[in-house]
Amino acid sequence: MKFRYVNSRGEILDFSEFPYLFQSGDLVKYAWSYDSANNRITNVRREAGEKPFKVGLIPDWSLPYAEKRAALKEAANRLYNVIEYDVVNKTDGRIETDTGSYLPCRIFASEKSDWENPTPYMFNDLTAVSGKNAWITEQDFSFYKSASFKDAAESFLDYAYDYAYDYTSQQIGQVLLNIDHIDTSDFKMTIFGPCSSPRILIAGHPYQVFTSLSQGDYLIVDSRDHTVIKHLSNGTQQDMYDLRGKTNTVFEKIPPGSNAVSWDGSFGFDLTVFLERSEPLWS
């Protein structure tokens, strides 16, 4: 398994390529927290936790000595700048794997060794801290507006985002959503205008926001931070939290397995489901 750190402004430290080489660590280790009383286990939960790991800073060994020293200096300064950016800006970066999982975190500690040696290399013992302490894998789905609601020239082409795959006509308005997981999951739902009071049923649960979207507008419902934001075509954002469905919460997590999805077909929407695991997917 390969790892890399990506900070909140997209800067990447690849720990599988020179000059940053992953050495060892507890990135795949986990433990649940729990309470116990009267021979019963209760309140099983994930809590914020530390994940220590070691990275070697090793410049290209084919370089002349002076260039290796310069490359090590540059690598050390860049590592500091990339990980420290998230700490001072109070924003998570993430450790990503080559299997598609990522851990939202910040790197709060660094201990160095071998940096005083004349040979130009060093090791960093880093400590990542994750508030959620769960590895996330995203599963993406796209649902199209019915062709009966569109002009022929527009057919399946007018969305603000590209879709990973197409749905056949019989899938529009009613489909099966297959979530390959063992627990309920947070999600981000993006609904594209034009439409009025869009309503979507997933596993029998209604997700609805009582607002209208014009052509070029879109609405994002995010269950992770309980936000409902309308994005207008002119770039303006509007908070629609108070217009969300309340009797049936619009933030209800998506259940695992095969779920029926239905809507009136008058609009299209994207759905990203965030599958949480105690360890990353294995390669």
Banded pLDDT at 123 (limits 50, 70, 90) = very high
Q: What pLDDT digit, counting tens, does each position of 223-274 carry?
A: 999 999 999 999 999 999 999 999 999 999 999 999 999 999 999 999 999 9
Instruction: Report the distance separating Cα 215 and Cα 188, nearest Å.
Output: 21
For 128, the token pair is 């990542």
Is residue 165 over pLDDT 50? Answer: no
Mean pLDDT of 124-152: 87
User: Where do the H-state alpha helices sit in 36-179?
Assistant: 65-88
Nearest to 51 by CA among 33, 26, 68: 26
Instruction: Report the distance separating Cα 241 and Cα 230, nearest Å.
Output: 10
The pLDDT score that the predictor gives to residue 30 is: 94
For the chain, which domains are there?
A: 3-133 (2.40.30.200), 138-277 (2.60.120.880)
Banded pLDDT at 61 (limits 50, 70, 90) = confident
- Higher pLDDT, residue 173 or 251: 251
Instruction: Report the distance separating Cα 171 and Cα 154, nearest Å.
Output: 19
Q: Which amino acid is at 174?
A: Q
Percentage of the chain surpassing pLDDT 90? 85
Which of 72-76, 98-102, 114-118 shows the lowest per-residue confidence on average (mean pLDDT)?
Answer: 114-118
Out of 20-29, 150-159, 168-177, the most confident range is 20-29
Nearby residues of 267 by Cβ (< 8 Å), 6 or more positions away: 145, 149, 191, 192, 193, 194, 195, 198, 213
The pLDDT score that the predictor gives to residue 194 is: 97
The pLDDT score that the predictor gives to residue 150 is: 56
Residue 244: DSSP 8-state: B
Is residue 155 over pLDDT 70? Answer: no
How high is the mean pLDDT of the chain? 91
Report CA 82 to chain centroid distance, whole Å.
19
Instruction: Report the distance separating Cα 241 and Cα 228, nearest Å.
Output: 5
Banded pLDDT at 277 (limits 50, 70, 90) = very high
- Do 197 and 213 form a contact (C-beta atoms < 8 A)? no
Instruction: Report the distance separating Cα 211 and Cα 45, nearest Å.
Output: 36
Banded pLDDT at 172 (limits 50, 70, 90) = low
Which of 15-24, 57-66, 125-134 shows the lowest per-residue confidence on average (mean pLDDT)?
Answer: 57-66
Residue 261's φ and ψ, nearest 5 degrees, are: -120, 130
Q: How far is residue 207 from each of residues 11, 201, 246, measured CA to CA in Å?
A: 36, 6, 9
Instruction: Report the distance separating Cα 158 and Cα 195, nearest Å.
Output: 14
